[in-house]
Amino acid sequence: MPMTEVTELDFLDRFINDKGSDLLNLGIKVLVTLVLFWAGQRLIKWIRKIIRNSMERANVDKGVAQFADSLLKYGMYVILAVFLASSLGVESTSIAALFASAGMAVSLAMQGSLSNLAGGILILVLKPFVVGDYIIEDTNGNEGTVKEIQIFYTKLATIDNKTIVIPNGTLSNNSLTNVTAAEYRQLDLRVGISYEADLKKAKEVLMDIIEKDHYIVKEKDYNVFVDELADSSVVMGVRAWVKTEEFMAAKWAILEKIKLTLDENGIEIPYNQLQVHLDK
């Protein structure tokens, strides 16, 4: 046998004799840590489920419940990481020093995330919107129904079922419109009629549509008026109140009724046109 192979075998034999027990202990620790990690995940899910059910029974605001669940999840995983590090033999003082130095670095690197965390807390305390509201974020024009309020971001669902994720810092530091905050919403429609049309008859037709439509809240004021004398038409205004959740359905239905009814009564809805006069 060559001298090189003998030397390598001797080295391997000495290494196993000297370090074998240490490697075995390390392997056992790693195995135990993996088992503890699996058990810890199961325990965290169980605790979160119990707390979610408790908040549901207590009728806690859905946004607050989602925020608390998200915060609890991250907090318990941090505790689990510290526990696993201790089980591997890392001293608690070393862990504390590591967290202190890491916390400084992370706080500098995650200033935006900390701003989003603060924004989420402000949203839950001040309640500019809650889960289920339809909001418009005025800065970028994002809009949709609020589905989740998490630690760092809020999820919106659009009408066509897309998901928009907006940082909480953006929502708390910029203006937004809460479309569904009130029980009722004003329906404000505009329709143009020909200058040759009977104005009084047009007003009567539009008023009759409003008075008979089931979407209109009759207890609140409603009105039909001349809004503008435009270049090609007399612009009629229709203003009334509907329930917020029925706003779009009411708008579509009433606009269709206006078009059909004006056609039935011979009242023209003109389009933009230009009259040219030629001198002889």
Show pLDDT as tens, one digit a residue, over the chain (280 residues).
Answer: 454 554 555 555 565 555 556 566 666 777 777 887 888 888 888 888 888 888 777 777 777 777 778 778 877 887 878 777 776 666 656 556 655 655 555 554 455 577 788 888 888 888 888 888 999 988 888 889 999 888 888 999 998 889 999 998 888 888 888 988 888 999 999 999 999 999 999 999 999 999 999 999 999 999 999 999 988 889 999 999 999 989 999 999 999 999 999 999 999 988 776 667 777 6
Cα–Cα distance, 267 to 201 (Å, whole number): 9
Q: What is the DSSP string of the chain?
A: --HHHHHHHHHHHHHHHHHHHHHHHHHHHHHHHHHHHHHHHHHHHHHHHHHHHHHHHTT--HHHHHHHHHHHHHHHHHHHHHHHHHHTT--HHHHHHHHHHHHHHHHHHTHHHHHHHHHHHHHHHH-S--TT-EEEETTTTEEEEEEEE-SSEEEEE-TTS-EEEEEHHHHHHS-EEETTSSSEEEEEEEEEE-TTS-HHHHHHHHHHHHHH-TTB-TTS--EEEEEEE-SS-EEEEEEEEEEGGGHHHHHHHHHHHHHHHHHHTT--------------
Task: Give whole-number Cα distances, 12 to 1, 15, 25, 250, in Å.
Answer: 16, 5, 19, 83
CA dihedral 190, 194, 200, 201 (to 10 degrees): -90
- Structure confidence at residue 184 (pLDDT): 92
Q: How many residues does the chain have?
A: 280
- Structure confidence at residue 1 (pLDDT): 46
CB 80 within 8 A of CB 44: yes
CB 193 within 8 A of CB 262: yes
